[in-house]
Structures are given as structure tokens and as C-alpha cells.
A and B are shown apart, each in its own frame.
Chain A
Amino acid sequence: MSSKETVHDPIAALAEQQEYKHGWVSNVEADQLPAGLSEEIIRAISAKKSEPEWLTEWRLKAYRHWLTMTEPTWQKPQYPAIDYQKVIYYSAPKKKAEVKSLDEVDPELLATFEKLGISLDEQKRLTGVAVDVVFDSVSVKTTFQDELKKAGIVFCSFSEAVHEHPELVRKYLGSVVPFTDNYFATLNSAVFSDGSFCYIPPGVRCPMELSTYFRINSAGTGQFERTLLVADEGSYVSYLEGCTAPSRDENQLHAAVVELVALKGAQIKYSTVQNWYPGDKDGKGGVFNFVTKRGVAHENAKVSWTQVETGSAITWKYPSCILKGDNSVGEFYSVAVTRDYQKADTGTKMVHIGKNTKSTIISKGISAGHGDQTYRGLVKIGKGATGARNFSACDSLLLGGKCGAHTFPYIESQNASAVIEHEASTSKISDEQVFFLRQRGLSEEDAVSMIVNGFCKEVLSELPMEFAVEAQKLLGLKLEGAVG
């Protein structure tokens, strides 16, 4: 913790701009399709990836459906209209071809990820984390593939999976988030370029953390990746996702889809640290993060979402759990930080269908500057969900008088035996709390930092160790100038 001598009001300082650390651009030659959206572009994307006919058709079906849809407007954050004809839907670093070993990967790319602190060199990694790296529209490299193969685990880029494991992809693609789901998911279904695919065979406990790192580099591109994760009966996997983008004056669109399938007795833990470019201090530029994430939990299965949302000009996503099987469990832990002109409308949906299903929602929002954030969630107890149980707690911390924090939970119960509890609170850091810590010898910055960390602890402790460190660092950086 560095101490800055001139900070008097840590909360005011918090609202000041802190430079985005990942805002640089890599000089990588890109292979792009022209901007615009049409059946030709979709066919071109599909052709670039030499996809089978059924997938091309699936994309086109989605595109035709998308044309009939209207952009939703019910969300809290408003944004300037997106011209979908000006977005570049496919951008890939050149010279990719067949990457057999690390030596063949573009050194500029390696340097990019080195700079982001993600080493693609397996030898150099201390921790056992396998990474699939997605640069603009395509997956660049997946590490530790051989080792995972030994356990029977499939972990590769989506394009690779389409060729290597078409039967799995075909069976599960769109099974959780159908292409008709919502405006942005449908758009994604039409134009998704790459993403990660993972299959854990029955009874296998994945020996390492799997992770995907997303980087937007080219200007004018949108990123539309798709992650599909299938945990077969009795298996376990912990999956991490991280993302950054260069600082640009324009708004870039990121519309991803994540589908999780937890079959009987399987457990999936999905963690996200989202740090897309949030725009400058006047709210110019930044990534629009409009993401659809949903998991299905079959009998005795568990789907757990943990997210730390610090980036993006606008975050708009609701990682959800469909608790289909009896005794299945859904969890949602979230920390969202908005400052400057960032806006977040996030939350979850817990749909209880099976008997004795349980769900927990813990959401923490921190709003500073002109930041504005909304928790929006749905807990739905179906008629057959006897003995269902839900607990939700949503707390907001306001730093400064110009920010906003909102809570819009929806609770629908159709079963008398279901027990649902929801609580929410909104407050600021009280002078008493700061005074107490100051009196114990902490600087004001450290005091605020400690209070904020304590506020988020419940969620941060859910992150896998490797990620918890990054998340805490990120939270520190995000609140730097105030909290050291």
C-alpha cells in the first residue's frame, strides 16, 4: 500500500480518475472481415472457421430471428444506439495457422499476455491453471492441453471443439441459452467467433483450474465469444474468466454467451473477474458488456457463479441458475464496483424447478463518483419445487453524493413449502467506522480500504485462491488514490 501524502478526503479522491492499467494496444496484424452484419458476413465467419453445415444453418437461423427482435429498453443504464452495421464481427491476429508449440505463437501476442500477467509458457507458471486465451475473435492458445487430456478432459477453443467433438457441441450448444433467448444472445448465436469449450467426463475432478482470458485489441470490433461447459455426472470443475481491453474513445460491444451444464451430481464453479475498459473519467468510451450467462443443474448438481465486476462502461448481465433436478444447488456471489460514469445492471435468476432445491444470492455493490448500479434478480419457485429454499442479501455501499444504488428483486413463489428470504441495505461508510480505525493508527486510506475489503469479503472468499489475489489487487487498483 503506497501512501500518498496529499490525500485528505479518501472518498472524494476515490471519485477521481485512476488510470486504467490495461489500456494499451498491441501492434498485432489483424485479419478482419469488413464491418457490417448480413447473411454473407455470417457465412464468411463460418467459412473462416470451416464450420460444418449444421452450425452455419444454426447461425443463420439465429440471425433471421434476430432481425425480428427489438432491442430491449427496460434496463436502468441507457446507452447511445449501437449501429450494428458499423461493428467488425470478426478480427483475428494473422499468422495463426496451426499452433503446435509456443514457439509458433506470434511473439507480439506472447508479449501482450506477458504484459497482462498471463504467461502462456507452461514452464513458467507456478500455479496449475490451464488458460485458453482469446484475442479479439479467436482463441490463440490453450495451455496444459496434454495434461488435461490424460484425465479425459476436453478443454479447447470452441472452433477446435466443433471439429474434434462435434457430437458434444451439437448436443449442448443452445441447450441452456437457446438462440431465441434475448436480443444480445441471439446476436451472439449468429456471429460468435470463438470461445472456450470444456467437457469433464463422469466422475472426474478436474486437477487444475481452467481459465479463459479475453482481450479485445482491434478498434471497431465487437467481441462475441461463446463458452460451453459440460460437467458430466459426478464431476467437478472450477473455471475462471478474465478480460481487458485497450482504452478507446468509442464504445465497443461485448456480447458473450456462457452455457453451463451440470449433469447429475456434478459441480461447476464459475468465477469471473471482469475488467474491460470502463471509459475515461467523463464517461467517454468504454466497453458495453451485455452478456448472457446461464447454467442448468440436474439432480444433486451445483452451479456456482462468482463475479467481480470492476470494468466496462455498462455492465448488463444476470448469471442464472436453472435448478432443474431435485436437490440441486445454485449460488451467486457478486461484487460490482462502479465509479466515474460507469453503470452496472446486474444480478441473477434462480429458477427452482426440482424438489429441495437451494439457492443463495450474495450481492455487494460499491458505487462512487457518478457511478450507478442496480441489482436486479429473480427468485422463482415453481409449483413442484417442494421444500425449496432461497436466501438473498444485497448490500450497497455509496461513496459520494452523486452516485446511485438500486435494488430490484423479483420473488415469485408458487409453493407453500418454499422458504424465501430477501434482505437489502444501502449505506455509506460511516464516520464512526473510519474514526475507530484511525484511532487504532490506520491512515484514512487504509481505513477505507479495510472497510471496503471487509464489505466484499463474503464474496471474495468464494473465489479460487489464484483469482482471489487478482481480484483483491484489482479492487485495490480500482479504489486507488483512496485506499492505497
Chain B
Amino acid sequence: MPTQTTNSLLNALAHDASSEPAWLRDFRAEHQKLFDETGIPTQRHEAFKYTNFRPLHEQAFQPAAAVEITEADLKPYLIGDDDLRLVFVNGHFSDTLSRLPRVPDALLIEPLGRIIHSTEPIATKLGAVVEPSPFGALNAATFREGLYVHAAKALTSDRPLHVLFVTTGGHAIASRLLMSCGEATDLRLIESHIGLGDAPRFVTHTSEFILARSAKLRHVRLLRETDASWHVAQTAAKLDRDASYTHQGVALGARVARHEITALLNGEGAHATLQGLTMAAGTQHVDHHITVDHLRPHCTSNQLFRSVADDRSHATFTGKVIVRPGAIGTDAKQQNNNLLLSDDAKVDTRPQLEIYADDVKCSHGATSGQLDANALFFLRSRGLDVKQARGVLTYAFANDLVEHIGIEPARHHMQQVMHQKFHGLLGE
């Protein structure tokens, strides 16, 4: 049963939908019902076994309010010249901080709050991909604002679209992103979640991607929330025939971050690459929950998730590959490596395979351990001190993912961030 303070969170999230179209009100009501069945999940809920949301009940949150922030506040988080960016502050769209110069007619970018009243057919797209997990349902029932992106057939662009969701503290925020990529499009998207200020906050965010035939999307997701943030997100992509979705995430923080990623391979020959790097320190808790569902024959998927857990942090990973009956020719790989840097850090991992077809190649691997003693010895024999040697090896472990980020400006930006993080440990 929800306690008094959960009610404070739910009250803060409560959304007045009276001015919205009927279909959206029904959509919200349906999801509200789903959420009410479970409430905020406890650790008795198998999917949430390793993540404790109980402290959430003791915190009070305000309804999301638009807070003025300046370009200077945003500066450290901007990527390259970032001339195509959309900024949401506490879930409210910011006209002043966003830059939306001339874009091709084939590309439609609009805040959800405006688009729901237009003729654009989004009723069939919203919520069509994401699984209604407890927090997914909560988001669907309460999201206030978000972004809708639609790319018409054959649009290709190597100029990344950067969407920034900024929080300033104290609020409970529900935001959403819906992107529909037409046939044979080729696009790049950077999604940043940024925390400013010290006050606790709660964020539920859902990103949905619908990829039509042969569509290609590179998606980089950067999580830089504060140590006082609760960040619960779903990312889901549904792929039609020969479509390709690449997700590369870097999670640098939040007090508790839970990220559910789903890829539905719903057309022959579709491909999904899902990668994630977690750098957890302090008392951070980062939980990744991945589902790759092979629904059709001859699809391929590749997962690589790495975690570095330092201090008293806790990194958890659950990854499931499902191969449905008849999905022959599936090739699915899943890899999860964990590095524990401290005796008080904790790692839990559940790599899972669920297979109902015989002509498939599926494998997964998981490792957990500390830095290799021989490698440390080698570096120390070359004159590095313990701290530097550990820094070099940890950097190498993490950089494997960073250097493969598929959007050039984002990769460059993250490499700089990593350099700063390891500055002094790596020497000059």
C-alpha cells in the first residue's frame, strides 16, 4: 500500500489532463490502472530484486516547475557547437535555450504538448513500443511534456539532434520522447539527462523509437544526474525489417538510476546493438535492465555492458535475450563485465537467455572481478604509483566503450569528460 509520502511523490506527479484529447486521457487512465496494481515496486518484485526504492517514500517532492537557467549553466554539457538542440528544464520545454535552425521539411520536431492537438497521427505510436513496467506505466499516466520527432522516408543526416533534459532539484518530473523514423532514414540522436543543484528530485522518463523498414538510428544517451537524484527511465525501440538501432549509454551518476532498455526485433534482418558504461562511485546505485526480443527470423543483436563500481556503490545488470518460436537464424550475443574497485562496492548480474527456436546462435558471458594484479605490477615496475596504475587500467576498461561511441561529437565530448575524470591518475 502506498504510504503517506509515496502519495507526496504521486501528488507531485499528478497531471491535469482535462484539456487533452480523449484518446490521451484514456491512455493515461489505462496506465494509471496498471500502475495502481503494483505501486512503487519493492524488492520482492523479481525485476526489482536489486534496487531498493524504499527511501523514496521518505522524501517529499514538488510538482515540476519551470525554472530559469542560463546558457552558462548548460555550457559544460553542450556537445560540439550543438546548433540543433532541444532543452527541457524540469520537464518544461525551453524556447530560449533550444536552438532549432532550419531543418529539412522531412523532419518534424515538436514538443508533445503541442503535437497532441494537431493532426499528426501519434495516438497509435505513443506507448506502442515500451512495455508497461510499473514505472513505465507511471510515466505514461503522468508525463507532462516531451518531444516528438518524425523523420519522413529516406531522410539522412549526420548532424546529431541533441535533446537535453535538465533538472534543477526539488521536483518530481515525468518526461517523454517519441521518435518515429521513416523508411530508409539514417539519423543520429543524443539524449542527455543533466542534474543541476543539490536538492533531491525524482525523474521518470520514457524514450520510444519506432524504426520503419531499413531505418537506421544511432542513439547516444548520457546520464549525468546528481547524487540526490532518483532517475527511472525506459528506452524502447521497435525495429521493422532490416532496420538497425544502436544504443550507447554512459551513466555517470544519480543516487539511484534505473534504466530499462527494450529492443523488439520485429522484422527479418533487423539488428540492435546495445552498449552501456556505468561509472558508479560514492553511494550511487545504477541498475540496467535489458530485454532484447527476437520476434522474427534472421535478426542479430549484440549487447555489451560494463560497470565500474567504486566506494560503496552498487551496480546491477539484468539482460534477457528472448528468441521466439520460429525466429531461426538468430544471432544474439550478450556480454557483461564488472570491475569492483572497493571492498564495499557491490555488483549483481543476471544475464539471461530464453530460447524457443533451434537454429540459433546465442551466447552470453558475465564476469566480475578486480584489476589484474599482473597488469598492476607491470605498470608499477614502469614507475607508476599504485593510484596511477589503477587509474590507467580502469580508464582502459571504460574507454573500450567510450571510444566506440558512434556519433563523433559525442565521442569526442565523452573522451574529454573521461580525461577530466581520470586527470592526475593518468599523468600528462
Contact = CB atoms under 8 A, between A and B. Distances in A.
Interface centre among A74, A402, A403, A426 (most CB of B within 10 A): A426
A52 interface: no
A418 B368 CA distance: 7
B353 interface: yes
Contact of B350 (A411, A415, A420, A428): A411
The 8 A-B residue pairs with the shortest CB-CB distance in the complex, in nearest-first order: A398-B358, A416-B340, A419-B369, A407-B353, A425-B363, A420-B368, A422-B366, A426-B362
Interface in B13-48: 46
Interface in A367-423: 383, 396, 398-423
A409 B350 contact: yes
27 contacts: A396-B355, A399-B358, A404-B355, A406-B352, A406-B353, A407-B353, A408-B350, A409-B351, A409-B352, A410-B348, A411-B366, A413-B340, A413-B346, A413-B348, A414-B346, A416-B345, A419-B367, A422-B366, A424-B351, A425-B362, A425-B363, A426-B355, A426-B361, A427-B360, A427-B361, A427-B362, A428-B358
A17 B310 CA distance: 55
Nearest to A389: B369
Given A415-B343, A427-B361, A420 B352 contact: no
A153 to B, nearest CB: 41
Contacts of B365: 421-424
A402 B325 contact: yes
A404 B327 CA distance: 12
A401 B352 CA distance: 20
Interface of B: 46, 325-326, 328, 338, 340-343, 345-370
Contacts of A426: 353, 355, 360-363
Given A406-B352, A409-B366, A415-B343, 16 more contacts: A398-B355, A401-B325, A401-B359, A402-B325, A403-B356, A411-B366, A411-B368, A415-B340, A416-B341, A422-B367, A423-B363, A424-B353, A424-B363, A425-B361, A426-B361, A427-B362
Contact of B367 (A74, A396, A420): A420
A422 B343 contact: no
Nearest to A401: B358
Nearest to B354: A406
Nearest to B353: A407
A401 B359 CA distance: 7
B370 A417 contact: yes
Contacts of A403: 356, 358
A423 B366 CA distance: 6
Nearest to B342: A416
Contacts of A407: 351-353, 364
A419 B368 contact: yes
Contacts, number: 111
B343 A400 contact: no
Nearest to A427: B361
A405 B363 CA distance: 12
Contacts of B326: 401
Contact of A411 (B328, B348, B358, B360): B348
Contacts of A421: 365-367
Contacts of B338: 413
A413 B342 CA distance: 12
Contacts of A415: 340, 343
Contacts of A409: 350-352, 366
A235 B190 CA distance: 63
Contacts of A398: 355, 357-358, 360
Nearest to B309: A416
Contacts of B368: 411, 413, 418-420
A424 B343 CA distance: 28
B268 to A, nearest CB: 17
Contacts of A411: 347-350, 366, 368
A428 B323 CA distance: 14
Nearest to B341: A416
Contacts of A418: 340, 368-369
Nearest to A423: B365
Nearest to B367: A421
Contact of A422 (B342, B351, B354, B357): B351
Given A406-B355, A407-B352, A416 B367 contact: no
Nearest to B346: A414
A408 B364 contact: no
A415 B365 CA distance: 20
Interface in A154-195: none
A284 to B, nearest CB: 23
A416 B343 contact: yes
Interface string A74-102: 10000000000000000000000000000
Nearest to B46: A74
B347 A400 contact: no
Given A412-B348, A422-B351, A401 B357 contact: yes
Contacts of B359: 401, 428
A417 B364 CA distance: 23
A416 B325 CA distance: 40
Interface string A128-146: 0000000000000000000
Contacts of A428: 358-360
Nearest to B365: A423
Contacts of A404: 354-356
B353 A405 contact: yes
Contacts of A423: 363-366
Interface in A415-451: 415-428
A405 to B, nearest CB: 5
Given A413-B368, A422-B365, A408 B352 contact: yes
A441 to B, nearest CB: 27
Contacts of B349: 410-411, 422
Interface centre among A396, A416, A421, A424 (most CB of B within 10 A): A416
Nearest to B49: A410
A379 to B, nearest CB: 9
B167 to A, nearest CB: 31
B180 to A, nearest CB: 33
Contact of A424 (B328, B358, B364): B364
Nearest to A381: B368
Contacts of B358: 398-401, 403, 428
A76 B351 CA distance: 16
A398 B356 CA distance: 9
A399 B358 CA distance: 7
Given A401-B326, A423-B365, A424-B363, A416 B353 contact: no
B331 to A, nearest CB: 11
Given A420-B368, A426-B353, A413 B360 contact: no
Nearest to B315: A413
Contacts of B350: 408-411
Nearest to A74: B46
Contacts of B343: 383, 415-417
B316 to A, nearest CB: 9
B343 to A, nearest CB: 5
Contacts of A420: 366-369
Nearest to A374: B354
Nearest to A422: B366
A416 B348 CA distance: 12
Contacts of B348: 410-413
A465 B350 CA distance: 36
A242 to B, nearest CB: 30
Contacts of B362: 425-427
